[in-house]
Each structure stands twice: as C-alpha cells, then as structure tokens.
Amino acid sequence: MLKIKSYPDHIRLDRNESYSFLNEKILSEIKDFNSDALSLYPDLNEIKDLLAKHIGSKTENVLPTHGSEQAIRLTVQSLFKKGDEVIMAAPIFIAFTLALKHIGVIPKILLYKERKGSFFPPTTQIVNLINKNTKGVVLCNPSNPLGCSISRRDILKILKKTASFKVPVIVDEVYSEFSGTSFLDLTKKYDNLIILKSFSKEFGLAGLRLGYIVANEEIIEKLDDEREMFWPISNFSIHTLRVLLKHKPYFKKQIAGVVQRKKKLISFLKQRSVKCYDTDTNFVIIKSKNHKDIIQEFEAEKILVSDISTHIDSGNLLHDAFRISIPSEKDFKQVIIILKRLF
C-alpha cells in the first residue's frame, strides 16, 4: 500500500490541489445536509442525472466513481488482461502504471518530446504503432505530470486509427477545465473513446472522492457490471454535487484566477531566467541543478513542493525538475518571496 505522509501545518503545493476554491456560502450549503440520509442507501440514478445534465450527455453514457482513481482502475482492469498490448504516452499519472501492473500488462511506452522549452505528445508514433494487435491506448489530457495538451487534430488521428481496429482509447481529463479543452463531445461520435473526469481539481474537492466515466452505453454497462458494487457513491457526495452544480459560474471564476496567477508566476520566473514550463493545468514545472536544495528551502518555510525528477517512465524529460501547484491568492506572495531569495 502506498504511504502518504500528513503535514497538517504546511501549505501543500505538492499535490496539485485546488485548496482555496470553497467559500463560506458554498461550505454552509454543503454542511446543510439532511442527516437522515446517513441511514439510507443512495439513489445512484439521481447522481447519474446530475452528471449527465452537467456535461450535456445522456444518463446511460455516465458512470459515477469513487474518485478518478477508481475510474482508472475500473477501466484498465475491465478492458485489458495480462499480456495485452497497450500503448501508453509517458510519463503519466502513476495510477495508470499501477493499475496496468496489477493485471500483468507491460505497456508499450512512448515518451513525450521536449522542444524549445515545451513538451509535446508522441502522437505520430502512437498512430504508427496502432495495429490489429493493439488492445488499448492510454492518455492524460492535459498531461499529468507534464501539463501539456494533445490537440483536437491529433486526438482525431488517434481515434480514427483505433476505431478501425475497435481499440479503446482512455483519456484522463481531470485537468481539462484549466486548459479549456475537452474531448467529451467526441464520445458521441467514437464508440471507442472513454473519458475520465473528476471534481478534485476544477471544483477543489479532492477529499470528496467523486469522479465519473463518460463513454458509449455498452462500455458503461460493462464497467458497471465489472465493478460489482451496489452503492459506490455516498449520499453526502450526491448532496455535495447538487450544491456544486448550482455554483458553476463561481468555480469558473476560481479557475480563471488560478490561470492568471500561473501567468504571473511564469512571467516572474522567466524575468529571472529560471528554466520553467508553462502548463495547461494548475501547476508549473521548474528545472534547476539545485532542485533538491530548493525543495528543502520551501519545506523549511512549511511549504511543500513536489520533486518529480525521478518520475517513473519519464526518461530524462524531468531531470532536475520540481513542480509547484499554483497557490491561493493569499499564499502567492509568500511563494514569490521565497523564489526571489532562491533565484
């Protein structure tokens, strides 16, 4: 089991959490929970209806999950088996690597490329590699941990090639609200496309553990059957979702605020000739030969940032790299003060 340390008195900029999104009004509405519901089994049809309305889809094309991590494990372990040929663009969110390893799949890894200070997906290589033996393609868009995006033109190339072989394409879109790009609409055209979503990043509720899968009805039914759980989502999660969806314009403003602070942070770093990478997410990547010392300096100030220099399946892409989640408006000044001292 993975062990995750707790740092209750630290500012956590190491896990890409949208930790400052909820205001008092929304919190008050969330707390206004009918305690009688704690004694009742949840109505999953209601949450399917809420999610379908949220994304403009049909209820039969949506499956709620216990966070995106369950969505990842459920899709990977239901659609693939030991020895299957699965193509994976890497580096990727480690949950995919662990899920594939659990069932004995050794993926065909295609590394992202770095050109002129930016990362790019290996789209051409993916398309060329797909053949009658391919059993699946796994992608993150935007990428975690790199933060770059696959273009609509490129995903269409992948979908057209995989569709001809009836190969499922799994796309994790947890960060899509920060990029402003989603391929959800393509699930209506391509029966082999499976989109994974979450309320952790765009709504700032990583602790709620609420995610969902969007795909064609046949795949959704298969995944639901494979899960073999009657009630995977709690009544409290359903109640919270009702509250969140009433405040969608507010959350869009919070995302816009993160994007603006990210631009400020990138501009500050570039003015100081710091090697950094803009992203389509809520974090930035910085490279420095002294990255371990810098991480320790932040921790001395009770701020945690993430060492991604040894991220699995990353080749040399993330050598000397660390990642900073975009801080809240309140914490932003403190981060800048520390960076001024370090660079």
CATH number of the domain residue 60 falls in = 3.40.640.10
State mean pLDDT over 313-326: 96
State mean pLDDT over 70-98: 97
The tokens describing 50, both together, are: 């809420």
**Are 239 and 275 in a shared domain?**
no
DSSP line for 137-183: EEEESS-TTT-----HHHHHHHHHHHHHHT--EEEE-TTHHHHT---
The tokens describing 72, both together, are: 């990842």
Q: 229, 245, 261 — which closes off a domain?
A: 245
Number of domains in the chain: 2
CB 173 within 8 A of CB 193: no
Of 186, 119, 129, the C-alpha closest to 152 is 186
Of 322, 284, 320, the C-alpha closest to 147 is 284
d(CA 257, CA 260): 5
Asked if pLDDT for residue 186 goes beyond 90, the answer is yes
In a domain, 297, yes or no: yes
Q: 189, 212, 245 — which closes off a domain?
A: 245
Q: 196, 225, 245 — which closes off a domain?
A: 245
Q: What is the pLDDT of residue 116?
A: 86
> Where residue 1 falls among pLDDT bands split at 50, 70, 90?
low
State mean pLDDT over 64-71: 96
Asked if pLDDT for residue 35 goes beyond 80, the answer is yes
**Are 76 and 43 in a shared domain?**
yes
pTM: 0.95
**Are 163 and 222 in a shared domain?**
yes
What residue numbers bound the domain in which 100 lies? Answer: 24-245
**Are 92 and 208 in a shared domain?**
yes
Q: What is the pLDDT of residue 229?
A: 87
**Are 28 and 98 in a shared domain?**
yes
**Are 313 and 188 in a shared domain?**
no
Q: Mean pLDDT, the chain, as a whole number? A: 96
Asked if pLDDT for residue 5 goes beyond 80, the answer is no
**Are 45 and 116 in a shared domain?**
yes
**Are 231 and 106 in a shared domain?**
yes
State mean pLDDT over 153-177: 97
**Are 40 and 132 in a shared domain?**
yes
**Are 128 and 177 in a shared domain?**
yes
Q: What is the pLDDT of residue 3?
A: 63
**Are 310 and 165 in a shared domain?**
no
**Are 256 and 184 in a shared domain?**
no
CB 324 within 8 A of CB 299: no
CB 269 within 8 A of CB 309: no
Q: Cα separations (Å) of 150 from 154, 243, 262, 279?
A: 6, 32, 20, 12
Q: Cα separations (Å) of 152 from 156, 180, 269?
A: 6, 12, 30
In a domain, 6, yes or no: no
